Amino acid sequence: MTVAVRHDWSKEEVLGLFNQPFSDLMYMAQTIHRQNFDPNQVQVSTLLSIKTGTCPEDCKYCPQSAHYNTGLEKEKLLEIERVIAEAKVAKENGSSRFCMGAAWRSPNKKNMPYVLDMVKEVKALGMETCMTLGMLTDEQASELADAGLDYYNHNLDTSPEHYGEIITTRTYQDRLDTLANVRSAGMKVCCGGIVGMGEELQDRAGLLVQLANLEEQPESVPINMLVKVKGTPLENEADLDPFDFLRTIAVARILMPKSHVRLSAGREEMNEQMQSMAYLAGANSIFYGEKLLTTPNPSANKDMELFDKLGIKPEQHCVAHEQEAAVAEQITEAAMDKHFYNADRA
Q: How many other CB atoms are found less than 10 A from the CB of residue 224?
A: 24
CB 157 within 8 A of CB 170: no
Which residue among 59, 97, 175, 204 is the active-site one?
59
Which residue among 170, 253, 262, 267 is the active-site one?
262
Which residue among 130, 204, 253, 267 is the active-site one?
130
CA 61 to centroid of chain Cα atoms: 17
Distance from C-alpha of 61 to C-alpha of 165, rounded to nearest angstrom? 11
Dihedral (Cα; 96, 101, 106, 111), 10-degree rounding: -90
318 in catalytic set: no
191 in catalytic set: no
Which residue among 97, 99, 170, 204 is the active-site one?
99
CA-wise closest residue to 257 among 290, 286, 230, 219? 219
Rg for the chain, CA atoms, rounded: 20
Which residue among 55, 97, 247, 267 is the active-site one?
55
- Cα torsion 11, 17, 20, 22: sign: negative
Report the helix count and the strand count for the chain, using DSSP H and E: 12, 12
Distance from C-alpha of 206 to C-alpha of 162, rounded to nearest angstrom? 9
- Cβ-based neighbours of 122, under 8 Å, separated by 6 or more: 83, 84, 87, 98, 100, 129
Which residue among 175, 190, 191, 253 is the active-site one?
190
CA-wise closest residue to 178 among 161, 148, 193, 156? 156
CA-wise closest residue to 111 among 80, 86, 82, 88? 80
Q: Give catalytic residues, as residue numbers.
A: 55, 59, 62, 99, 130, 190, 262
